[in-house]
Amino acid sequence: MALLIPAYFILMRSTTTGKRERKSQLAAALLFSLYPYWVIVDQLTIHPLLAEEVNILPLFIVSTTLLRKIFAKGKITQYIESGIVILLFLALIIDAMAGNTLYDALIIGTMSLAAMLFGFMMKYKSYFIAGTGTILFNVYMNTNSMWGEMPWWLYLIIGGGLLIGIASFFEWKKQKDNRTSKEVLEKNKQRIKNWLNRWN
């Protein structure tokens, strides 16, 4: 019974010629297909560790399809998609933190890595940023106790080493290209901007 509504919209779409109407009917079919999906999932025996992920996964697919393929309106839909993707990842993070087991960390880590790779390959900023951010947060939360046990002087050595390394790199680039530090920094900033501007 639950499949009848999306099937009805798909059937209507096959007999409609207007582009806008066809888009609206496809969007309605996608949205109403969520309910039968959740009904089917509810009948299956799914491990509690994967329950939240299985329920949330179609929301990623439906929202991205709607905002990128059906109602693509440039920057506006990209911002909406970014908001949805971040909120969905927050829900996954909260679920993982509630479980607080190694398996929860592995599941959220795998999903984050998949989102990051998907975002990188498809050049989708929202998935790449959300996936990367979740991975970093996951790593931090699972190594938090180790960071607290490290002596203060080790932080000083790591921070100093990073600063020396960055300064040495900029000095080398400055001498190699015969430019000032400011010019080297601006060139690298512009390169990163150009790279990100190719993404949507």
11 found inside a domain: no
Residue 172 buriedness (CB in 10 A; 0-12 / 13-18 / 19+): exposed
- Which pLDDT value is given to residue 134? 93
Number of domains the chain is built from? 1
10 found inside a domain: no
Higher pLDDT residue, 32 or 175?
32
pLDDT digit string, tens, across residues 124-173: 889 999 999 999 888 888 777 776 677 777 778 888 888 888 777 766 66
94 found inside a domain: no
Q: d(Cα 161, Cα 90) in Å, to the nearest integer?
A: 34
- Which pLDDT value is given to residue 174? 65
198 found inside a domain: yes
Residue 85 φ/ψ, nearest 5 degrees: -60, -45
Q: d(Cα 34, Cα 24) in Å, to the nearest integer?
A: 16
Crossing angle between the packed helical segments 48-65 and 19-32, to the nearest 10 degrees: 180
Per cent of the chain over pLDDT 90 is: 30
Classify the C-alpha dihedral 172-176-177-179 as positive or negative.
positive
46 found inside a domain: no
194 found inside a domain: yes
Q: Which amino acid, 79? A: Y
The half-sphere exposure of 200 on its side-chain side, counting CA atoms within 13 A, is: 11
Token couple for 138: 């996951």
- Which pLDDT value is given to residue 180? 62
Token couple for 187: 């060139």
Q: d(Cα 182, Cα 170) in Å, to the nearest integer?
A: 10
Domain of residue 179: give its range. Answer: 151-200
192 found inside a domain: yes
Q: What is the mean pLDDT of residues 67-93?
A: 90
Q: Which amino acid, 138? A: N
Helices (H), the chain: 4-14, 19-32, 34-43, 48-65, 75-99, 102-122, 125-142, 144-149, 152-177, 181-197
189 found inside a domain: yes
